[in-house]
Structure 1
Amino acid sequence: MEYRQPWQQVSAGARDRAAFIRSVYLWLMGGFAVAALGALSAPMVARALVPVVGSFFGWVLFGVQFGTLLFASAVRRRQPLNRLAFALFTFVSGVIAGLVALVVAEGAGFQPVLTAFGMTGGVFLTLTTTAFVSKKDFSFLRNFVIVGIAVMFFGGLAAAIFHLEAFGLVISGVAVIACSAKLLWDTSTMLRTEDFSDPAGFALALFVSLYNILIALMNLLGGGRRR
């Protein structure tokens, strides 16, 4: 039986954790790459689907996105199916983000779109650095996040169904705050977990938060300036 000194066990644990965190961010970077392909494909997807589904195009895309999210969550520990599911979800999300960017750019120009991307990157770097440097447990944000995401989801549906543009902007503000808190919570959980078998799950959670922040910021920055 091999005996390890305590410092050797700590060193091995640190290496395992570092490998796990690296794996999470590799998954996340891969998701960004696939989402970028989806965004570039957005006009072609719209041209292909609009003649088929007509005015229900947006709802069909939302349904597909929600379905692929549930699929990716369900198989996140099952290789290699988790790779396919993660790629499907991030691709569909990229298509939606690309279409939102085109709508915002048509009404307000590309500056709000580029600003939203820059601000999303800034939020990601700031909150990630905060979690890494402080090493705090941000699980106390759980209840705030749950309530905020519920308001975001149901409020967003109400704004879309009843065409409440001003209310939609308020919900976008809620989404930025709630998803930023969730990003901080998920990152701190990733740094503290002892279960290193689910990098895809953590990457999925981080991607969803960043996606929602980006969409909300595009709506906020472009909503008040559309012609």
Structure 2
Amino acid sequence: MYTNREVAAVRSTDSVLATNKVIRNTYMLLSMTLLFSALTAGISMVFNLPHPGMILTLVGYFGLLFLTTKFRNSGLGVVFVFALTGFMGLTLGPIISAYMSLPNGGQLVMTALGGTGVIFIGLSAYALTTRKDFSFMAGFLMSGILVAFLAGIGAAIFNIPALALGVSAMFVLLMSALILFETSNIIHGGETNYVMATVSLYVAIYNLFLSLLHLLGAFSGDD
């Protein structure tokens, strides 16, 4: 017979192993999807594909996100993750091409890419090493992302540069918070599905990169 303390120790060990497995699988899948997204963005740039537009982008994103969520517990979930990130890479290619056409476009893109990497690695390492619980940010993130998303649509429709700039600044803060929240969520067992964890972190990285690129372009006077 096991004592209560021994049972608790076994359960704690199992929980740690399960968490480590989710973290390992999440970062492995995230790395592959980022590379695949970069590949599709590169293809889009090489063939000079036009941007699909806001409506098609939103339909494609939410449609593939729905399918990924629906099949998250099966092998199809991984397939739809690659479909989603590949599609987002295609939408990213024309945007990068537009910035690359600027006099200092290459520097802007590389700075935004480097900044995204530093922020992601720094915040992920902080959450993993400190193991702080950031679940309290759930409500803030939900409402903040919704407000920023609607404001971004408004800025695009009514062509308000100042609002668009403010939305980009908001997204830098919100996506940084999302990285902390999602990493903490994995550590503390709130997220046990590595497919959904990958999608959340990918979306954070994608929007963080675009927002930094927009801000850098604006402050350099070329946006």
Tell me, yes or no, whether TM beats 0.5. Answer: yes
Shift in CA distance, 194/61, structure 1 to aligned 2, threshold 3 Å: closer
Q: Kindly state the Cα deviation for residue 125 of structure 1 after the two structures are TM-superposed.
A: 0.9
Q: Where does residue 40 of structure 2 map in the other structure?
A: 38
Query: Aligned equivalents of 1:184 and 1:109: distance in 2?
Result: 30
TM-score w.r.t. structure 2 length? 0.88
1:145-224 alignment, distance < 5 Å: 145-193=141-189, 196=192, 198-224=193-219
2:24 to 16, 22, 25: 22
CA displacement at 1:19 relative to structure 2: 1.7
Q: Percent identity, aligned pairs only?
A: 27
- Mapping for residues 1-227 of structure 1, pairs under 5 Å: 5-6=6-7, 7-43=9-45, 47=49, 50=50, 57-77=53-73, 79-107=74-102, 108-193=104-189, 196=192, 198-224=193-219, 225-226=221-222
Once the two structures are TM-superposed, the CA of residue 60 in structure 1 deviates from its matched residue by 2.0
What is the rounded CA distance, in whole Å, between the counterparts of 1:180 and 1:170 in structure 2? 16
Query: For residues 47-102 of structure 1, what are the alpha-carbon distances to aligned partners after superposition, in whole Å with 9 as ceiling and x for unaligned?
Result: 4xx5xxxx96443233212321222222222x221011101110011112222211
Cα separation, 2, equivalents of 1:135 and 1:199: 18
Equivalent pair of 2:52/2:91 in contact (CA under 8 Å): no
**Does structure 1 conserve the Cα–Cα contact (< 8 Å) formed by 2:27 and 2:198?**
yes
For the structure 1 residues 62 and 43, does the alpha-carbon distance in structure 2 shift closer, same or farther, using more than 3 Å as the test? farther
TM-superposed CA distance for 1:190, in Å, is 0.4
Aligned partners of 2:93 and 2:190: how far apart in 1? 37
Distance in 2, matches of 1:39 and 1:216, equals: 17
Kindly provide the amino acid, as one letter, of the partner of residue 214 in structure 1: F
Give the distance between the partners of 1:9 and 1:142, measured in 2 at CA: 27
Distance 2:137 2:47 in 1: 38
Gapped regions of structure 1 (runs ≥ 5): none
Give the secondary structure class of the aligned counterpart of 1:201.
helix
Letter matched to residue 57 of structure 2: L
Distance across 1 between alignment mates of 2:52 and 2:191: 42
Runs of 4+ in 1 over 6 A off after TM superposition: 1-4
> Across the two proteins, how many residue pairs are aligned to each other?
219
Do the aligned partners of 1:104 and 1:219 also contact (CA within 8 Å) in 2?
Answer: no
Kindly provide the amino acid, as one letter, of the partner of residue 65 in structure 2: L
Deviation at 1:25, TM superposition (A): 0.9
Distance 1:60 1:10, change over 3 A: closer
In 1, the alpha carbon distance for the partners of 2:45 and 2:194 equals 32
- One-letter code aligned to 1:141: M
Give a deviation string over 1:155-200, Cα, whole Å, max 9, x none. 110111111122111100001101111111111010000663x110
SS of 2:132 mapped into structure 1 = coil
Equivalent residue letter for 2:28: L
- Comparing 11-20 with 147-156, greater Cα deviation is found at 11-20
